[in-house]
Chains A and B, each alone.
Chain A
Amino acid sequence: MQYHIEVTIGLKDGMLDPEAATIRKALEHLGYPTVSLGLQKKFIIDLDEASSDEAYSKVDEMCKRLLANPVIHNYDIVIEESI
């Protein structure tokens, strides 16, 4: 079965994100003050696995070993069966 997976990775709550802070300031200069602004990275993966559970655990492993840095990141995995 083929699965379509979207992994969203972002900094853990409360961590300072200088890039987001800079973009927020630039938006403010353009006349768009914001209450908050965050940045996340999204990975789009298609995977052949026997089940959704197996696909999930494989992607979870990818996150732990490379895609995310567990010291500073949280991540979220969304899986759907490809049609």
Chain B
Amino acid sequence: MKIAVLQFGGSNCDYDVQYVLSEIIGVDTDLVWYKDELNGYDGVVIPGGFSYGDYLRAGAIAARTPIMNSIKRMAEEGLPVIGICNGFQVLVESGMLPGALMTNQYPKFRCQWVYLKVENNTSPFTREFKEGEIIRIPIAHMEGNYFADESVISGLNSRHRVAFRYVDPGGNATEEVNPNGSKQNIAGILNVQGNVLGMMPHPERASEEILGSKDGKKIFHSMIKYISSLVST
């Protein structure tokens, strides 16, 4: 099994993700430059950062690089693709996930721990969690305000495509704990098939006890288990 962590100019969480996957989870993980070939991988992580300086719109330029065609192909084949923070922005800009990520409602860079509720624990990225589990993972972004029109939002809800929501420690998705103004406190969403996840919080920053939480590790663990199940069937 081999995972690719994509690198664009301006990616800056690439090494953190590679470290967690290879050292903590123990899976073979390569950093792949966006101009290189994306062949022979069983899953892809689009990491956080500021690809192309957030020029035009966050993620807009990276989303239009040719390597994204390879990623779309992999997603169509059912392989897992996860976009974290800037990676989530790239996924919505590429059309692989619906909606848009706009400037935070209070237009400030928010860097803090948040509580998330696992809304869907059947996806390739969340199957290690209990349904409705409350987890702790940090965010660090300026454009994380998830927007989509009402019909898209209700479709996401009815098809269980909201993976995570910002909540208080008791699991309530209140306005006070919404860090960026996202519609219905949405922090992460899945594509129709469930094998593409975009999320603003950084699971790679919550994968070791020494960093204050290991909840993020379960997301990578889920992904690896899912890939193993693909191989064995």
Contacts and interface: CB of A to CB of B under 8 A. Distances in A.
Interface in A3-28: 15-19, 21-22
A15 B102 CA distance: 10
A16 B105 contact: yes
Contact of A71 (B100, B106, B145): B100
A62 B92 CA distance: 18
B66 interface: no
A22 B147 contact: no
Contacts, number: 36
B125 to A, nearest CB: 23
A75 to B, nearest CB: 13
A51 B100 CA distance: 34
A16 B181 contact: yes
Interface in A33-50: none
A19 B103 contact: yes
B107 A67 contact: no
B60 A69 contact: yes
Given A71-B99, A71-B100, A71-B147, A66 B60 contact: yes
B8 to A, nearest CB: 16
Contacts of B107: 18-19, 21-22
A30 interface: no
Contacts of A22: 107
Contacts of A65: 64
Contacts of B172: none
A18 B103 contact: yes
A83 interface: no
Nearest to B60: A66
Interface string B92-134: 1100001110111111000000000000000000000000000
Contact of B100 (A18, A66, A67, A69): A69
Contact of A66 (B56, B92, B145, B181): B56
Nearest to A41: B56
B72 interface: no
A18 B106 CA distance: 7
B1 interface: no
Contacts of B145: 18
Contacts of A15: 102, 147
B22 to A, nearest CB: 35
Nearest to A16: B105
B160 interface: no
A18 B57 contact: no
B102 A72 contact: yes
10 contacts: A18-B102, A18-B104, A18-B105, A18-B107, A18-B181, A66-B60, A67-B56, A69-B93, A71-B149, A72-B147
Interface of A: 15-19, 21-22, 65-67, 69, 71-72
